[in-house]
Structure 1
Amino acid sequence: MRFYDDFLSSLGLVCAQVLLTLDNLSDREQFLNARNTFAELLTYNVVPIVNENDTVAVRELRFGDNDTLSAQVATLVEADWLFLMTDVDCLYTANPKDDPNAQPISDVEDFAHLNADTKTKGTQWGTGGMATKLTAGRIAVAAGCTMAGRGQKRWLLMVPLRGSLQLDVGAVRAVQMHKKSLFAAGIVRVDGDFAAHDAVSLLDEQGIEFGRGLVNYSADELERVKGKAAKEFERELGYNGPDEVVHRENLAMLTDPHCMHEEDEH
Protein backbone atom coordinates (compact mmCIF):
# COMPACT_ATOMS: atom_id res chain seq x y z
CA MET A 1 0.00 0.00 0.00
CA ARG A 2 2.94 2.34 0.64
CA PHE A 3 4.08 1.72 -2.94
CA TYR A 4 0.63 2.49 -4.34
CA ASP A 5 0.32 5.56 -2.12
CA ASP A 6 3.71 6.95 -3.22
CA PHE A 7 3.12 6.16 -6.89
CA LEU A 8 -0.39 7.62 -7.08
CA SER A 9 0.55 10.64 -4.95
CA SER A 10 3.16 11.54 -7.56
CA LEU A 11 0.27 11.73 -10.04
CA GLY A 12 -1.84 13.85 -7.73
CA LEU A 13 -4.17 10.96 -6.83
CA VAL A 14 -5.34 9.53 -3.50
CA CYS A 15 -5.78 5.79 -2.90
CA ALA A 16 -7.64 3.73 -0.33
CA GLN A 17 -7.30 0.07 0.60
CA VAL A 18 -10.44 -2.07 0.30
CA LEU A 19 -10.41 -5.58 1.78
CA LEU A 20 -13.04 -8.07 0.60
CA THR A 21 -13.99 -11.72 1.00
CA LEU A 22 -16.26 -13.81 -1.18
CA ASP A 23 -18.52 -14.06 1.85
CA ASN A 24 -19.02 -10.28 1.67
CA LEU A 25 -20.11 -10.42 -1.94
CA SER A 26 -22.22 -13.56 -1.68
CA ASP A 27 -24.49 -11.78 0.81
CA ARG A 28 -26.85 -9.49 -1.10
CA GLU A 29 -26.90 -6.70 1.52
CA GLN A 30 -23.11 -6.70 1.91
CA PHE A 31 -22.76 -6.75 -1.88
CA LEU A 32 -24.84 -3.57 -2.14
CA ASN A 33 -22.90 -1.94 0.70
CA ALA A 34 -19.59 -2.73 -1.02
CA ARG A 35 -20.89 -1.34 -4.30
CA ASN A 36 -21.97 1.88 -2.58
CA THR A 37 -18.55 2.19 -0.95
CA PHE A 38 -16.79 1.91 -4.31
CA ALA A 39 -19.19 4.42 -5.85
CA GLU A 40 -18.50 6.92 -3.06
CA LEU A 41 -14.73 6.50 -3.34
CA LEU A 42 -14.82 7.02 -7.10
CA THR A 43 -17.05 10.08 -6.68
CA TYR A 44 -14.21 11.68 -4.71
CA ASN A 45 -11.61 10.52 -7.26
CA VAL A 46 -10.10 8.08 -4.77
CA VAL A 47 -8.47 5.02 -6.39
CA PRO A 48 -9.52 1.81 -4.57
CA ILE A 49 -6.72 -0.75 -4.10
CA VAL A 50 -8.49 -4.08 -3.55
CA ASN A 51 -7.15 -7.20 -1.88
CA GLU A 52 -8.61 -10.30 -0.30
CA ASN A 53 -9.16 -10.04 3.44
CA ASP A 54 -7.13 -13.12 4.41
CA THR A 55 -7.46 -12.43 8.15
CA VAL A 56 -11.15 -13.35 8.20
CA ALA A 57 -11.68 -15.42 5.01
CA VAL A 58 -12.34 -19.13 5.42
CA ARG A 59 -11.21 -21.62 2.78
CA GLU A 60 -14.73 -22.33 1.52
CA LEU A 61 -15.43 -18.63 0.94
CA ARG A 62 -12.16 -17.36 -0.53
CA PHE A 63 -11.57 -15.89 -3.96
CA GLY A 64 -8.29 -17.83 -3.97
CA ASP A 65 -6.57 -15.77 -6.67
CA ASN A 66 -6.37 -12.15 -7.75
CA ASP A 67 -7.73 -12.86 -11.23
CA THR A 68 -11.08 -14.02 -9.85
CA LEU A 69 -11.10 -11.18 -7.31
CA SER A 70 -10.51 -8.62 -10.07
CA ALA A 71 -13.37 -10.03 -12.16
CA GLN A 72 -15.71 -9.89 -9.18
CA VAL A 73 -14.76 -6.28 -8.47
CA ALA A 74 -15.15 -5.35 -12.16
CA THR A 75 -18.62 -6.88 -11.97
CA LEU A 76 -19.37 -5.08 -8.71
CA VAL A 77 -18.53 -1.61 -10.04
CA GLU A 78 -19.94 -2.30 -13.55
CA ALA A 79 -16.57 -1.58 -15.14
CA ASP A 80 -16.27 -1.23 -18.92
CA TRP A 81 -12.84 -2.91 -19.04
CA LEU A 82 -10.89 -5.53 -17.10
CA PHE A 83 -7.14 -5.84 -17.68
CA LEU A 84 -5.34 -8.92 -16.33
CA MET A 85 -1.56 -8.75 -15.99
CA THR A 86 0.54 -11.72 -17.10
CA ASP A 87 4.17 -12.58 -17.93
CA VAL A 88 3.31 -14.18 -21.31
CA ASP A 89 2.47 -12.31 -24.50
CA CYS A 90 -0.92 -13.93 -25.11
CA LEU A 91 -3.09 -17.02 -24.69
CA TYR A 92 -1.84 -20.22 -26.40
CA THR A 93 -3.41 -23.55 -27.34
CA ALA A 94 -0.81 -25.12 -25.00
CA ASN A 95 2.13 -24.01 -22.87
CA PRO A 96 4.66 -22.65 -25.42
CA LYS A 97 7.51 -23.46 -23.01
CA ASP A 98 6.67 -27.16 -23.19
CA ASP A 99 4.98 -27.57 -26.58
CA PRO A 100 6.75 -26.19 -29.69
CA ASN A 101 3.51 -26.61 -31.65
CA ALA A 102 1.57 -24.26 -29.36
CA GLN A 103 -0.33 -21.65 -31.36
CA PRO A 104 -1.19 -18.14 -30.14
CA ILE A 105 -4.84 -17.18 -29.67
CA SER A 106 -5.30 -13.45 -30.11
CA ASP A 107 -9.09 -13.24 -29.75
CA VAL A 108 -11.63 -15.38 -27.90
CA GLU A 109 -15.15 -14.98 -29.29
CA ASP A 110 -16.80 -17.83 -27.40
CA PHE A 111 -15.42 -19.28 -24.16
CA ALA A 112 -17.53 -22.43 -24.52
CA HIS A 113 -15.62 -23.47 -27.65
CA LEU A 114 -12.16 -22.32 -26.62
CA ASN A 115 -9.47 -24.89 -27.44
CA ALA A 116 -6.63 -24.10 -25.03
CA ASP A 117 -4.64 -26.18 -22.53
CA THR A 118 -4.52 -24.20 -19.28
CA LYS A 119 -3.28 -26.88 -16.87
CA THR A 120 0.03 -25.12 -16.20
CA LYS A 121 0.14 -23.34 -12.84
CA GLY A 122 1.23 -19.77 -12.30
CA THR A 123 4.80 -18.54 -12.08
CA GLN A 124 6.70 -16.82 -9.27
CA TRP A 125 4.83 -13.63 -10.21
CA GLY A 126 1.35 -15.13 -10.05
CA THR A 127 -0.50 -18.05 -8.52
CA GLY A 128 -3.36 -18.78 -10.88
CA GLY A 129 -1.90 -19.26 -14.32
CA MET A 130 -3.94 -18.87 -17.49
CA ALA A 131 -6.83 -21.01 -16.21
CA THR A 132 -7.81 -18.44 -13.58
CA LYS A 133 -7.57 -15.67 -16.16
CA LEU A 134 -10.03 -17.47 -18.42
CA THR A 135 -12.37 -18.03 -15.48
CA ALA A 136 -12.11 -14.35 -14.62
CA GLY A 137 -12.73 -13.47 -18.26
CA ARG A 138 -15.91 -15.54 -18.37
CA ILE A 139 -17.24 -13.84 -15.23
CA ALA A 140 -16.43 -10.36 -16.50
CA VAL A 141 -17.82 -10.94 -20.00
CA ALA A 142 -21.02 -12.39 -18.57
CA ALA A 143 -21.45 -9.41 -16.28
CA GLY A 144 -21.08 -7.00 -19.19
CA CYS A 145 -23.59 -8.61 -21.54
CA THR A 146 -27.23 -7.58 -21.78
CA MET A 147 -28.56 -10.73 -20.11
CA ALA A 148 -26.41 -10.18 -17.02
CA GLY A 149 -26.82 -6.41 -16.90
CA ARG A 150 -29.25 -6.26 -13.95
CA GLY A 151 -27.99 -5.98 -10.41
CA GLN A 152 -29.49 -9.31 -9.27
CA LYS A 153 -27.84 -11.18 -12.13
CA ARG A 154 -24.48 -9.53 -11.53
CA TRP A 155 -24.70 -10.60 -7.90
CA LEU A 156 -25.46 -14.20 -8.94
CA LEU A 157 -22.04 -14.41 -10.59
CA MET A 158 -20.42 -13.88 -7.18
CA VAL A 159 -22.34 -16.40 -5.07
CA PRO A 160 -20.31 -19.54 -4.15
CA LEU A 161 -21.40 -22.57 -6.16
CA ARG A 162 -22.64 -25.63 -4.24
CA GLY A 163 -23.28 -28.01 -7.11
CA SER A 164 -24.31 -28.37 -10.74
CA LEU A 165 -27.26 -29.38 -12.90
CA GLN A 166 -26.71 -30.93 -16.33
CA LEU A 167 -29.53 -30.26 -18.78
CA ASP A 168 -30.73 -31.89 -21.96
CA VAL A 169 -30.48 -30.02 -25.25
CA GLY A 170 -34.09 -28.83 -25.13
CA ALA A 171 -33.72 -27.34 -21.68
CA VAL A 172 -30.44 -25.64 -22.62
CA ARG A 173 -32.10 -24.02 -25.61
CA ALA A 174 -35.16 -22.97 -23.59
CA VAL A 175 -33.08 -21.38 -20.82
CA GLN A 176 -30.34 -19.87 -22.97
CA MET A 177 -32.07 -18.90 -26.20
CA HIS A 178 -35.68 -18.35 -25.16
CA LYS A 179 -35.07 -16.88 -21.68
CA LYS A 180 -37.25 -19.49 -19.96
CA SER A 181 -37.08 -20.74 -16.39
CA LEU A 182 -35.52 -24.14 -15.70
CA PHE A 183 -37.90 -27.04 -15.02
CA ALA A 184 -37.11 -30.48 -13.60
CA ALA A 185 -38.10 -32.26 -16.84
CA GLY A 186 -34.96 -30.93 -18.55
CA ILE A 187 -32.48 -32.03 -15.86
CA VAL A 188 -30.49 -35.19 -16.61
CA ARG A 189 -27.89 -35.10 -13.82
CA VAL A 190 -27.53 -33.57 -10.34
CA ASP A 191 -24.14 -33.12 -8.65
CA GLY A 192 -23.20 -31.62 -5.30
CA ASP A 193 -24.73 -31.32 -1.85
CA PHE A 194 -26.79 -28.15 -1.96
CA ALA A 195 -29.88 -26.83 -0.23
CA ALA A 196 -32.80 -24.84 -1.60
CA HIS A 197 -31.76 -21.27 -2.57
CA ASP A 198 -28.09 -22.25 -3.03
CA ALA A 199 -26.26 -21.33 -6.25
CA VAL A 200 -25.44 -24.04 -8.82
CA SER A 201 -23.80 -24.25 -12.23
CA LEU A 202 -25.92 -25.04 -15.25
CA LEU A 203 -24.20 -27.40 -17.68
CA ASP A 204 -25.11 -28.28 -21.25
CA GLU A 205 -25.19 -31.83 -22.64
CA GLN A 206 -21.38 -31.78 -23.08
CA GLY A 207 -20.84 -30.77 -19.47
CA ILE A 208 -19.86 -27.17 -20.33
CA GLU A 209 -21.06 -24.49 -17.91
CA PHE A 210 -23.24 -21.88 -19.62
CA GLY A 211 -25.09 -20.33 -16.69
CA ARG A 212 -25.67 -20.11 -12.95
CA GLY A 213 -28.79 -19.89 -10.83
CA LEU A 214 -30.42 -20.15 -7.43
CA VAL A 215 -32.34 -23.42 -7.02
CA ASN A 216 -35.74 -23.81 -5.35
CA TYR A 217 -34.99 -27.39 -4.26
CA SER A 218 -32.20 -29.31 -2.55
CA ALA A 219 -29.92 -31.78 -4.33
CA ASP A 220 -31.76 -34.74 -2.73
CA GLU A 221 -35.12 -33.42 -3.89
CA LEU A 222 -33.90 -32.81 -7.42
CA GLU A 223 -32.50 -36.34 -7.62
CA ARG A 224 -36.05 -37.54 -7.06
CA VAL A 225 -37.77 -35.23 -9.56
CA LYS A 226 -35.17 -34.81 -12.33
CA GLY A 227 -36.66 -35.63 -15.72
CA LYS A 228 -40.19 -35.41 -14.30
CA ALA A 229 -43.03 -32.95 -14.83
CA ALA A 230 -44.00 -30.53 -12.05
CA LYS A 231 -47.33 -32.34 -11.57
CA GLU A 232 -45.37 -35.31 -10.19
CA PHE A 233 -43.69 -33.27 -7.44
CA GLU A 234 -46.31 -33.96 -4.76
CA ARG A 235 -46.02 -37.73 -5.21
CA GLU A 236 -42.19 -37.68 -5.23
CA LEU A 237 -41.57 -35.01 -2.57
CA GLY A 238 -44.67 -35.14 -0.41
CA TYR A 239 -45.56 -31.51 -1.08
CA ASN A 240 -46.34 -29.14 -3.93
CA GLY A 241 -43.48 -26.70 -4.45
CA PRO A 242 -42.74 -24.19 -7.23
CA ASP A 243 -42.98 -25.54 -10.76
CA GLU A 244 -39.63 -23.91 -11.60
CA VAL A 245 -36.39 -25.47 -10.36
CA VAL A 246 -34.66 -22.15 -11.13
CA HIS A 247 -36.83 -19.13 -11.88
CA ARG A 248 -35.78 -16.94 -14.79
CA GLU A 249 -35.18 -13.98 -12.45
CA ASN A 250 -32.59 -16.07 -10.59
CA LEU A 251 -30.59 -17.07 -13.70
CA ALA A 252 -27.41 -15.52 -15.11
CA MET A 253 -25.81 -16.59 -18.40
CA LEU A 254 -22.06 -17.08 -18.82
CA THR A 255 -22.02 -17.44 -22.61
CA ASP A 256 -23.54 -15.42 -25.42
CA PRO A 257 -26.61 -17.36 -26.62
CA HIS A 258 -26.50 -15.65 -30.02
CA CYS A 259 -22.99 -16.95 -30.72
CA MET A 260 -24.07 -20.45 -29.69
CA HIS A 261 -27.14 -20.22 -31.93
CA GLU A 262 -25.12 -19.11 -34.94
CA GLU A 263 -22.78 -22.10 -34.53
CA ASP A 264 -25.74 -24.46 -34.30
CA GLU A 265 -27.10 -23.11 -37.59
CA HIS A 266 -23.75 -23.68 -39.34
Structure 2
Amino acid sequence: MTTGQISDPARGGTAGPAPTCRSAERALQSVAFDAIGARYSEAFPAKSGQLTAAHRLIAELEPGAPVLDIGCGTGDPTVRQLAEAGLRVTAVDLSDGMLALARRALPQAAAYHRIDLYDLGTGRAGTAWGVPGLGPAGAGGFAAATAFFSLILLPQREIQVALRRIRTLLRPGGLLVLGMVEADLDDYPMRFLGQEIRISGFLREELAEALHLAGFTVEALNGRPYAPACMALPPEEQLFLHCRRTT
Protein backbone atom coordinates (compact mmCIF):
# COMPACT_ATOMS: atom_id res chain seq x y z
CA MET A 1 0.00 0.00 0.00
CA THR A 2 1.23 3.47 -0.79
CA THR A 3 0.30 6.24 1.62
CA GLY A 4 1.31 9.09 -0.67
CA GLN A 5 1.00 12.65 0.50
CA ILE A 6 -1.70 14.99 -0.72
CA SER A 7 -1.27 18.72 -0.47
CA ASP A 8 -3.86 20.73 1.44
CA PRO A 9 -5.85 23.33 -0.54
CA ALA A 10 -5.65 25.59 2.51
CA ARG A 11 -1.89 25.66 1.91
CA GLY A 12 -2.21 26.48 -1.75
CA GLY A 13 -1.91 22.94 -3.13
CA THR A 14 -4.23 20.49 -4.78
CA ALA A 15 -6.38 17.82 -3.21
CA GLY A 16 -6.68 14.91 -5.59
CA PRO A 17 -10.04 14.24 -7.28
CA ALA A 18 -12.11 17.10 -8.62
CA PRO A 19 -14.26 18.67 -5.87
CA THR A 20 -17.49 18.03 -7.80
CA CYS A 21 -16.72 14.32 -8.10
CA ARG A 22 -15.76 13.96 -4.45
CA SER A 23 -18.80 15.97 -3.37
CA ALA A 24 -21.08 13.61 -5.29
CA GLU A 25 -19.40 10.55 -3.76
CA ARG A 26 -19.76 12.04 -0.27
CA ALA A 27 -23.42 12.77 -0.89
CA LEU A 28 -23.95 9.10 -1.72
CA GLN A 29 -22.21 8.12 1.52
CA SER A 30 -24.53 10.46 3.41
CA VAL A 31 -27.63 8.97 1.78
CA ALA A 32 -26.39 5.47 2.59
CA PHE A 33 -26.05 6.29 6.29
CA ASP A 34 -29.40 8.06 6.30
CA ALA A 35 -30.86 4.72 5.23
CA ILE A 36 -28.77 2.64 7.65
CA GLY A 37 -29.69 4.79 10.66
CA ALA A 38 -30.06 2.91 13.94
CA ARG A 39 -29.31 -0.42 12.26
CA TYR A 40 -25.61 0.48 12.47
CA SER A 41 -25.66 -0.55 16.12
CA GLU A 42 -27.19 -3.88 15.16
CA ALA A 43 -24.04 -4.74 13.21
CA PHE A 44 -21.69 -3.43 15.92
CA PRO A 45 -23.53 -3.87 19.24
CA ALA A 46 -20.44 -4.42 21.44
CA LYS A 47 -18.36 -1.29 21.84
CA SER A 48 -16.09 -2.08 24.77
CA GLY A 49 -12.97 -0.86 22.97
CA GLN A 50 -14.60 2.45 22.10
CA LEU A 51 -15.95 2.90 25.62
CA THR A 52 -12.55 2.14 27.16
CA ALA A 53 -10.78 4.56 24.83
CA ALA A 54 -13.21 7.39 25.65
CA HIS A 55 -12.96 6.61 29.38
CA ARG A 56 -9.20 7.08 29.22
CA LEU A 57 -9.69 10.40 27.45
CA ILE A 58 -12.22 11.59 30.03
CA ALA A 59 -9.72 10.88 32.82
CA GLU A 60 -7.27 13.33 31.22
CA LEU A 61 -9.71 16.24 30.85
CA GLU A 62 -11.00 18.80 33.30
CA PRO A 63 -14.80 19.12 33.79
CA GLY A 64 -16.38 21.36 31.17
CA ALA A 65 -13.55 20.92 28.67
CA PRO A 66 -14.68 21.39 25.04
CA VAL A 67 -14.55 18.16 23.02
CA LEU A 68 -15.34 17.55 19.34
CA ASP A 69 -16.90 14.20 18.36
CA ILE A 70 -16.21 13.64 14.67
CA GLY A 71 -18.76 11.40 12.97
CA CYS A 72 -21.07 11.18 15.95
CA GLY A 73 -23.65 8.90 14.31
CA THR A 74 -26.60 8.30 16.63
CA GLY A 75 -24.70 9.73 19.60
CA ASP A 76 -24.24 6.36 21.29
CA PRO A 77 -22.02 5.64 22.97
CA THR A 78 -19.55 8.50 22.68
CA VAL A 79 -21.67 11.66 22.83
CA ARG A 80 -23.58 10.19 25.74
CA GLN A 81 -20.38 9.12 27.53
CA LEU A 82 -18.63 12.48 27.09
CA ALA A 83 -21.71 14.49 28.12
CA GLU A 84 -22.34 12.37 31.21
CA ALA A 85 -18.74 13.04 32.24
CA GLY A 86 -19.50 16.79 32.29
CA LEU A 87 -17.64 17.70 29.09
CA ARG A 88 -18.89 20.33 26.62
CA VAL A 89 -19.52 18.36 23.44
CA THR A 90 -19.73 19.50 19.83
CA ALA A 91 -20.83 16.64 17.58
CA VAL A 92 -20.61 16.57 13.79
CA ASP A 93 -21.76 14.17 11.10
CA LEU A 94 -22.53 14.29 7.39
CA SER A 95 -25.71 12.21 7.65
CA ASP A 96 -28.92 14.11 8.38
CA GLY A 97 -30.54 10.84 9.39
CA MET A 98 -27.88 10.03 11.97
CA LEU A 99 -27.98 13.57 13.37
CA ALA A 100 -31.77 13.38 13.69
CA LEU A 101 -31.43 10.20 15.75
CA ALA A 102 -28.76 11.79 17.95
CA ARG A 103 -30.79 14.95 18.53
CA ARG A 104 -33.86 12.89 19.40
CA ALA A 105 -32.07 10.57 21.83
CA LEU A 106 -29.64 13.09 23.35
CA PRO A 107 -31.02 16.58 22.72
CA GLN A 108 -29.10 18.34 25.49
CA ALA A 109 -25.87 16.34 25.30
CA ALA A 110 -24.16 18.25 22.49
CA ALA A 111 -24.27 21.02 19.94
CA TYR A 112 -24.90 19.15 16.68
CA HIS A 113 -23.72 20.27 13.24
CA ARG A 114 -23.98 18.70 9.80
CA ILE A 115 -20.62 18.90 8.07
CA ASP A 116 -18.45 16.97 5.67
CA LEU A 117 -15.63 15.61 7.82
CA TYR A 118 -13.16 16.64 5.13
CA ASP A 119 -14.23 20.27 5.61
CA LEU A 120 -13.23 20.41 9.27
CA GLY A 121 -10.63 23.07 9.88
CA THR A 122 -11.46 25.00 6.68
CA GLY A 123 -13.46 28.11 5.93
CA ARG A 124 -16.36 25.90 4.81
CA ALA A 125 -16.75 24.78 8.42
CA GLY A 126 -17.79 28.30 9.42
CA THR A 127 -21.04 27.94 7.50
CA ALA A 128 -21.78 24.58 9.14
CA TRP A 129 -21.15 26.12 12.55
CA GLY A 130 -23.63 28.85 11.70
CA VAL A 131 -20.99 31.57 11.45
CA PRO A 132 -20.41 32.23 7.72
CA GLY A 133 -17.05 33.79 6.97
CA LEU A 134 -15.62 32.75 10.32
CA GLY A 135 -12.76 30.79 8.79
CA PRO A 136 -11.66 27.49 10.27
CA ALA A 137 -14.45 27.14 12.81
CA GLY A 138 -13.28 26.14 16.25
CA ALA A 139 -9.60 26.63 15.40
CA GLY A 140 -7.51 26.02 18.50
CA GLY A 141 -10.60 25.84 20.67
CA PHE A 142 -10.96 22.16 21.55
CA ALA A 143 -9.19 20.36 24.36
CA ALA A 144 -9.77 17.05 22.60
CA ALA A 145 -11.40 15.33 19.64
CA THR A 146 -12.74 11.83 19.12
CA ALA A 147 -13.13 10.12 15.76
CA PHE A 148 -14.36 6.56 16.14
CA PHE A 149 -14.58 4.76 12.78
CA SER A 150 -15.60 7.92 10.92
CA LEU A 151 -12.42 8.77 9.01
CA ILE A 152 -12.52 5.32 7.38
CA LEU A 153 -15.15 6.77 5.04
CA LEU A 154 -12.51 8.99 3.40
CA PRO A 155 -9.84 7.89 0.90
CA GLN A 156 -6.41 7.41 2.46
CA ARG A 157 -4.95 10.66 1.17
CA GLU A 158 -7.97 12.61 2.41
CA ILE A 159 -7.59 10.99 5.83
CA GLN A 160 -4.09 12.42 5.94
CA VAL A 161 -5.39 15.89 5.08
CA ALA A 162 -8.25 15.57 7.58
CA LEU A 163 -5.82 14.67 10.36
CA ARG A 164 -3.84 17.85 9.72
CA ARG A 165 -7.03 19.88 9.74
CA ILE A 166 -8.26 18.27 12.96
CA ARG A 167 -4.91 19.20 14.52
CA THR A 168 -5.64 22.89 13.85
CA LEU A 169 -8.89 22.61 15.84
CA LEU A 170 -7.05 21.44 18.95
CA ARG A 171 -5.28 23.50 21.56
CA PRO A 172 -1.49 23.02 21.77
CA GLY A 173 -1.12 19.71 23.55
CA GLY A 174 -4.73 18.81 22.73
CA LEU A 175 -5.76 15.16 22.53
CA LEU A 176 -7.12 13.03 19.69
CA VAL A 177 -8.63 9.59 20.27
CA LEU A 178 -8.98 7.71 17.03
CA GLY A 179 -10.75 4.45 16.21
CA MET A 180 -9.84 2.78 12.92
CA VAL A 181 -9.97 -0.65 11.32
CA GLU A 182 -6.56 -2.12 10.49
CA ALA A 183 -6.78 -2.89 6.77
CA ASP A 184 -4.81 -2.33 3.60
CA LEU A 185 -7.73 -0.66 1.82
CA ASP A 186 -8.17 2.62 -0.03
CA ASP A 187 -11.67 3.85 -0.94
CA TYR A 188 -12.85 0.25 -1.27
CA PRO A 189 -16.54 -0.28 -2.22
CA MET A 190 -18.52 -2.70 -0.05
CA ARG A 191 -22.12 -3.58 0.79
CA PHE A 192 -23.14 -2.76 4.34
CA LEU A 193 -26.69 -3.33 5.61
CA GLY A 194 -28.04 -3.14 2.09
CA GLN A 195 -26.14 0.03 1.18
CA GLU A 196 -22.95 0.57 -0.80
CA ILE A 197 -20.29 2.51 1.08
CA ARG A 198 -16.59 3.08 0.49
CA ILE A 199 -14.03 2.52 3.21
CA SER A 200 -10.30 2.91 3.77
CA GLY A 201 -7.84 1.63 6.29
CA PHE A 202 -4.14 1.57 7.15
CA LEU A 203 -1.81 -0.96 8.62
CA ARG A 204 -0.94 0.21 12.13
CA GLU A 205 2.63 1.28 11.35
CA GLU A 206 1.44 3.37 8.41
CA LEU A 207 -1.36 4.91 10.47
CA ALA A 208 1.11 5.89 13.19
CA GLU A 209 3.32 7.47 10.53
CA ALA A 210 0.36 9.40 9.05
CA LEU A 211 -0.42 10.78 12.52
CA HIS A 212 3.21 11.75 13.04
CA LEU A 213 3.24 13.62 9.73
CA ALA A 214 0.01 15.38 10.72
CA GLY A 215 1.61 16.73 13.91
CA PHE A 216 0.59 14.15 16.51
CA THR A 217 2.47 11.93 18.93
CA VAL A 218 0.88 8.51 19.36
CA GLU A 219 0.95 7.90 23.11
CA ALA A 220 -0.85 4.54 23.00
CA LEU A 221 -2.08 2.15 20.31
CA ASN A 222 -4.28 -0.80 21.21
CA GLY A 223 -5.54 -3.46 18.81
CA ARG A 224 -8.66 -5.51 19.47
CA PRO A 225 -10.13 -8.31 17.34
CA TYR A 226 -13.80 -7.74 16.64
CA ALA A 227 -16.46 -9.94 15.09
CA PRO A 228 -19.42 -7.89 13.78
CA ALA A 229 -22.88 -9.24 14.60
CA CYS A 230 -23.78 -8.89 10.92
CA MET A 231 -22.69 -12.20 9.38
CA ALA A 232 -22.11 -10.54 6.01
CA LEU A 233 -19.14 -8.67 7.49
CA PRO A 234 -15.80 -10.40 8.15
CA PRO A 235 -13.97 -10.25 11.51
CA GLU A 236 -11.74 -7.20 11.82
CA GLU A 237 -8.93 -5.78 13.89
CA GLN A 238 -9.95 -2.52 15.52
CA LEU A 239 -7.26 0.01 16.42
CA PHE A 240 -7.67 2.60 19.18
CA LEU A 241 -5.04 5.34 19.29
CA HIS A 242 -4.46 8.02 21.92
CA CYS A 243 -2.64 10.94 20.34
CA ARG A 244 -1.44 14.38 21.39
CA ARG A 245 -0.93 17.48 19.27
CA THR A 246 2.80 18.12 19.28
CA THR A 247 3.25 21.10 16.96
TM-score, length basis structure 1: 0.24
Q: Which structure shows the higher strand fraction? A: 2
Greater Cα radius of gyration, structure 1 or 2: 1
TM-score, length basis structure 2: 0.25
Query: Which has the higher relative contact order, 1 or 2, with Cα contacts under 8 A spaced 6 or more apart?
Result: 2
